Amino acid sequence: MAGNSFGRIFKITTFGESHGKAVGVVLDGCPSMLELSEEDIQRELDRRRPGQSEITTPRNEKDEVVILSGVFEGKTTGTPICMLVYNQDYRSKDYSKVKDLFRPGHADFTYYQKYGIRDYRGGGRSSSRETIGRVCAGAVAKKILGKLGVSIYAYVKQVGNIVAENIDLNEIENNPVRCADKEAAKKMYDYILDVKKRGDSVGAIVEVVVKGVPVGIGEPVFDRLNAEIAKAIMSIPAVKGIEFGRGFQVATLHGSENNDEITRDGFVSNNAGGTLGGISTGEDLIFRFAVKPPSSILIPKRSINIYGAECEVVTEGRHDPCVAPRVVPIAEAMTAIVLVDLYLIDRARKNIF
């Protein structure tokens, strides 16, 4: 209800602003007796952190996690797990220029209108640093899924007009773009670098493939697996669309083409992308989402300030020219959180009678 929580039985509440003291999360509802260490979390945070390569922001933060509660002698106790990352390398001065401005494409305008006040430093709460908390909780969720035999693979599918076509899921972590196609990855890398040099930014499409999802996950009619995933992914900054299975292509398909037939050996195809009626089929869960080009660019754009005066905005500071490589672990985290939450809800009522 209050906006900063997600999930029901496996629930996260994130907090923190970009240039405040810390960002973090409280994960409530994690089952007890799961081995958990700060290393488990750090591994995922390192995939999200800035400064990983030439194509991510040079803001150099280690983003070291501290577990404040919920773990005792290396195991979860069933009590809330609070995980924190203290903010360090912030240069709030970079933002004094934009203090009273509404940067185009950013949430400055809407936060100011809604709350009458905003922490203008680094985007405040609307900064993607908020997603650190998600990645921390997602690391726990992924560990649980691992024990259930579920694996999540997210990778960059498209940047500009460059599309990954020869998909090899083992390739993802071998290149800084996190693209599953080695050749496409190189092209994307060069392209992003070029865009960066021009002081501009570019959008992308990310695909997520989840293997090993048990049959029966998802709670119709509103809390469908695909509906929950849609909300989770759309809540990530910069995401503008999501589609499952054949996605928007279905507009041109016939039922005779799109219906997935079933034989004794299982589903013959997976146009549905892994759900029917909002419940997992046991096939791979497959979806794609689009991220917009980052709004922070060096190319001047028109805007107004809080007093209504017109001005020109150039967003200096250190920014990502393309969010795709760093949004991959965030999407995995949100996907994992949805899956654990719906898995536990299904488990609650399963096979009682």
**42 binding its own copies? (CB under 8 A):** no
296 is in an annotated binding site: yes
> Exposed (0-12), middle (13-18) or buried (19+): which is 70, by Cβ within 10 Å?
buried
Q: What is the torsion angle, in degrees rounded to the nearest 10, for the CA atoms of residue 18, residue 22, residue 28 and residue 31?
A: 110
Window 286 to 315, contacts with its own copies (CB under 8 A):
290-297, 299, 301-304, 308-310
Residue 34 touches its own copies, criterion: CB under 8 A: yes
Instruction: Check binding of 43 to its own copies (CB under 8 A).
Output: no
Should residue 318 be labelled a site residue for its own copies when binding is judged by CB under 8 A?
no
Q: Is residue 281 a contact point for its own copies (CB under 8 A)?
A: yes
- Residue 294 marked in a binding site: yes
Q: Is 293 labelled a binding residue?
A: yes
Among 62, 97, 318, 347, binds its own copies (CB under 8 A): 347
Amino acid at 168: D
Instruction: Kindly identify the residues of this chain, within the stretch 143-162, that bind its own copies according to CB under 8 A.
Output: 144, 147, 158-161
Q: Can you tell me which of 39, 93, 170, 255 binds its own copies, judged by CB under 8 A?
A: 255
How many CA atoms lie less than 13 Å away from 303 in the CB half-sphere? 21
Minimal distance, residue 290 CB to its own copies, in Å:
5
Q: Is 292 annotated as a binding residue?
A: yes
138 interacts with its own copies by CB under 8 A? no
270 near its own copies, rule: CB under 8 A: no
CB-based burial label for 71 (10 Å; 0-12, 13-18, 19+):
buried
Residues 55-114 that bind its own copies (CB under 8 A): 66-70, 72, 75, 77-82, 84, 102, 104-107, 109-111, 113-114
Task: Using alpha carbons only, give the angle 19, 114, 17 rounded to the nearest 5 degrees.
Answer: 15
User: How far is it, in rounded angstroms, from Cα 335 to Cα 67?
Assistant: 22
d(CA 44, CA 41): 6
Cβ neighbours for 159, distance < 8 A, ≥ 6 positions apart? 177, 179, 188, 191, 192, 202, 203, 204, 322, 324
Torsion of CA 114, 117, 121, 123, to 10 degrees: 0
Q: Which residue in the set 96, 115, 173, 190 belongs to the binding site for its own copies (CB under 8 A)? A: 115
User: Is 125 known to sit in a ligand binding site?
Assistant: yes
- Residues annotated within the binding site are 48, 125-127, 277, 292-296, 318
- Residues annotated within the binding site for FMN are 125-127, 277, 292-296, 318
